[in-house]
Amino acid sequence: MKRQPNTTPDTGKPASGIFRRAIRQILSKPKEEIEEREATSQKETEAKKPLWKKKLAVLTVIALCCLPIHYASASPEERAQMCKTLILKKLVSDGWQLVQESQSLMVVERPLTGWGGPVVQALTTGAYGTKPIIRWSITLIPESDHYTQCSYLGTVNSQNAFGQMTSIPINNKKNLDYMRRLTQAATAELPARYKFVPK
């Protein structure tokens, strides 16, 4: 039986001869050309790496841009709390002291100054009583994203030598206008999404 030589299907030439020629061709190439090809291949591989970093950076930016959308949504409760914070800030700057606070209520007070203090003390608690204190109780109830129900009650309080408390309601226009202007100025500083819109 005659043995046929191992040949390639395309050329019909022996495979071992082609392999040897390929090896000789590779070995015959200058060392500088081989090193240049290897350097080019390495640069192409390294150039692909930053692409993933860029994609990751873009995705991160998109995610961060989407996050504030959820927190920017308006809320009646948040508006009421922001109103309370702004009103309290203005009250403190006017010399009022916070003495009580809850979710919807804050109570502030300060001494009754001017000629009114001695007069009220003389008429209510006498010379041995405490100096009169003016007190405001402010209640804020959430209603909508653009409206918060705000009510305030003012009293002048003093205590006599026996510990009995006297409380006089504040109904004069001057004090009521003061509180109205203060609350309006505070709510005017709200963000645009919480600005007052008439019903």
Each residue's pLDDT tens digit, 30-49: 556 656 666 666 666 655 55
Residue 92 is which amino acid? V
Angle of CA points 182, 84, 184, to nearest 5° = 25
In the chain, count H helices and then E strands: 5, 5
Please give the backbone phi and psi of residue 170, each rounded to the nearest 5 degrees, phi first.
-95, 110
Q: What is the pLDDT of residue 99?
A: 97
Q: What is the pLDDT of residue 121?
A: 73
92 and 86 Cβ atoms separated by less than 8 Å: no
131 and 119 Cβ atoms separated by less than 8 Å: no
CA distances from 190 to 70, 75, 96, 103, 105 (A): 19, 13, 22, 19, 19
* DSSP 3-state of 106: strand
CA distances from 167 to 124, 135, 172 (A): 9, 10, 15
How far is 21 from 13, CA to CA, in rounded Å?
12
Q: What is the pLDDT of residue 153?
A: 96
Please give the backbone phi and psi of residue 131, each rounded to the nearest 5 degrees, phi first.
-70, 140
Q: What is the pLDDT of residue 20?
A: 65
Please give the backbone phi and psi of residue 68, each rounded to the nearest 5 degrees, phi first.
-65, -20
* Positions of the chain with pLDDT under 70: 1-73, 199
Residue 40 is which amino acid? T
Residue 114 tokens, joined:
């001017």
Q: What is the pLDDT of residue 49?
A: 52
Q: How many CB atoms lie within 10 A of CB 41?
A: 10
Looking up tokens 């909508």 gives 144
Maximum Cα–Cα distance across the chain: 140
Q: What is the pLDDT of residue 67?
A: 45
pTM to 2 decimal places: 0.60
Looking up tokens 């309290």 gives 88
How far is 117 from 156, CA to CA, in rounded Å?
10
